[in-house]
Amino acid sequence: MEVLWLTDEEVKLLLTMDETIAAVEKAFYDHGMGQTQMPPKSYLYFSKYDGDLRTMPAYLEGCDQAGVKIVNVHAANPKIGLPTVMALLTLISPKNGVPLAIMGATFLTAMRTGAAGALAARHLARQDSRVVGMIGAGVQAGAQLLGLSRHFKIEQVRVFDTSEERSRSLETNSREFLDCEFMIYTKPQEASQCDILVTTTPSRRPVVKGDWILPGTHINAIGADAKGKQELESSLTKTAKVFVDDMAQAVHSGEVNVPISQGILLPEEIFAQIGEVLAGKKPGRESETEITIFDSTGLGIQDVATGFAVYEKALQKRIGVKLATGLSASVL
């Protein structure tokens, strides 16, 4: 038996944002319908290197798709020429456990996170949203903008990052799919005056204050993905209408983890999981003036659903290398 090996570059050739959004939408819907198995991420902390390693198993029962992603986050990596986030995804057959594919999942991770933000904004942002604010201008900021551009007619992007070079790079790269005005700011407050705000920083203290946010704003809070991380002032999560991707995971390691640990926000005050909105069990935005927040921690079901879309396309296009596993039907 053989397993298909796909490099990150091959995944990049195969995967479009529209395909990613479709895969993640199905994953969120199944999650909302209670048709997935997905224990919260498990972490290994490499404290002396300011990094961690996470394992993310998931099973989409309706699609009969299963797999596990391993992913690191090392904030200092860009200084030595490596990505902050690197990942590998293994897909297996739920029927017999046979490995089907192993693929580089660094690009896939960025895309599926961008797709999640896009889907959340479709349901939680005002449909006439035209101005997008970006706090953080790294790789994930680009993926978020790409996802948002598939639904919203973006007229202006307001960018803040501690590095002007990163902000300019985001503008340059985004012009491949966006024809709009870019404004580069030196203060996060200026970038926060928008219709949709996206935060993609690794911060462990708030970078966005509640009184900066205009009525009717939607916020995609992407950066907080581990215990102790926080991008939004705790009072903002208390007064806004909060949606999470997965309750158990968000309480432990999402944007809401710090305000919950502080006793400012109670878990029962979180309005819904985004899958419940897609499944029609809970409403999304209910007024033009409410402030909504999507707390994205990143789910294994997103990776598996997107990975299978890549795997099936790779088989059709005969891309990748098939490697012998040493297994045969006689030993299964």
The continuous run of DSSP H or E covering 184 comes out as strand 181-185
**What is the 8-class DSSP label of residue 211?**
G
Token pair 């970078």 is at which residue? 207
Token pair 């897609």 is at which residue? 278
d(CA 303, CA 101): 13
**Residues 6+ positions from 301 with CB-CB distance below 8 Å:** 27, 28, 30, 31, 36, 38, 58, 60
Q: Residues in the chain, how many?
A: 332
Q: Checking DSSP bridges between strand 196-199 and strand 272-273, what pairing results, if any? A: unpaired
Within 13 Å of residue 22, how many CA atoms lie on the same side as its CB? 8
Q: What positions carry a catalytic annotation?
A: 69
**Helix (H/G/I), strand (E/B), else coil: 34:** coil
**Dihedral pair phi/psi, residue 17, rounded to 5°:** -65, -40
Secondary structure of 74-141 as H, E, C letters: ECCHHHHCCCCEEEEEEEECCCCCCEEEEEECHHHHHHHHHHHHHHHHHHHCCCCCCEEEEECCCHHH
* Count of other CB atoms within 10 angstroms of residue 119: 26
